Chain A
Amino acid sequence: MADPKDKTGAAGPASPPAVPSIPRLTPAVPEPVSATEPTASPAGSPPAPGTLPASPAVPQVAPVARPPAPGRPGARSPTGSMPAVPPVAPVVPPVGRTPTGSLPAVPPVAPVVPPGTRTPTGSLPAVPPVAPVVPPGTRTPTGSLPAVPPVAPVVPPGTRTPTGSLPAVPPLPPRARTGPAVPAVPVAPVPPAAQAPEAASELASLDHRHALLDELDYFQVMGLELTASPAEIKLAFHHESRTYHPDRYFQSPDAELRDKVQAVYKRVTEAYFVLRDDARRKRYLADITGPDRLKKLRFDELAEAEAKAAVKKEVAEQIGTHPKGRQFFQSAVADLEAGRFSAAERNIKLALTYEPANPLYKQKLEEAQTKLNEEFKRSGGKGFRIE
């Protein structure tokens, strides 16, 4: 998810980046218990119905907010809620939830903003119109608390920061590597201001990720750069957990959706398990930057260990484990190549006395004996042979 969004951000003006991140944040934000709810709602959770009633305060605020808003790309949405906030607002924009639009003033703003910020256009147009309409309904959330406005701004920044930082990092690199597919999906959905859109974008990005799952390396899965620090990895993991934790969809009636979330999240935990361990991470990095990248996108310690053991075993067999046996075997091989089959047979038998279980020796012995037999037949039974 992070990736797509980030990408978007990169493409558009400064504020947009924030937007992408929001969707994920949203889930997290609501968390605070009831008391916090006001805060939460501004941040991202559209739902917060409880807060609505308080709206009256809003009107006043709105006017004030507006002015500043236009200037800033992000301002548009959050603004309504906070008069004082304006400065903060820009940051907030992602939230977009701007129900704030509620205010009469909004309409003007909205139009302005969209062009600038909302490149995604498709979504934008929709927003402005909505705003006026929304006010009555939506407004409540924002208006809900006079006090809230200040809070709201505060919270988002706080929360977001972590995310903000991550997304920025990850998106770019992964994208570049992965290719085209990733960016496209996320972008479109993200912009929508309303929550529903948010959810939709989340779903779209989920679909997208799920489809690409087997083509992404762990860094891409987590939305990280190859050089990410352990702290960033942890942060990213917490971030992804907030977005893709199956518990979020526990009640969802859509079994397919739940399966997808499971699949994506399982990959996230897998990625985290490998990346958080320096030794594993190093080996994995070598794997995916090597020639077999596509085969090694999923780290398999076991396979690695097995492969190593197999090679070792093979080497041991080639040469043998006993020095004397090895010596006889080597001369037997030389005899065989030179066509001295009976000498070869003798030497292998001697080698086998040192290592009776070596399968390679046994195989060579068989080979030498067949050759010997053939030779015997060819010579019409005239050759000298000791049984």
Chain B
Amino acid sequence: MVDLSDHAIIQRVLSGDVEAYARLVDRHYARCVRIAARILGNREDAEDAIQETFLRAFHALGDYEDRERFSAWLTSILVNQCRSQLARTRRREAVFPDVDPLDVDWTAGDGTGASPWPELEHALARLPADQREALVLKYADDLTYQEMARITGAGESALKMRVQRAFARLRALLREVPSV
């Protein structure tokens, strides 16, 4: 099958080929899981947010302008959905009041098994929501600070500070976790 660009697929969808949208879902789903599951801390909420994201993107496809990368545009919708989900579940400040992040299935999708960094996963899940979001966007999605600023609405310097604080907090959390 021809490997169409995101832009070409979008043009097909806009021409009425609704099934072509499945290729965009296939192409970007795993990345969305990586982002949403880390931001929200559980797969169920993440899948709800992702489903809503792809549906909203479909509805808004006519407004998408290709001067922006489709992946970044999709991520901006996803981040908004994750924030709404967090607000709905009242977990903005403490994402895991009842759920131990070590119980969340962080098994890799490539069949390589459980995470080799269980303490780190634990610490990441305990970061404040804004710091975790910044860290996820920077390292799970490889976004630039400029792209992160556009997506989150925060300034670049504020985002750099969040990432810096996230690392400081991670260090503190990792010192608290006894070695396995």
Asked if A and B are interacting partners, one says no
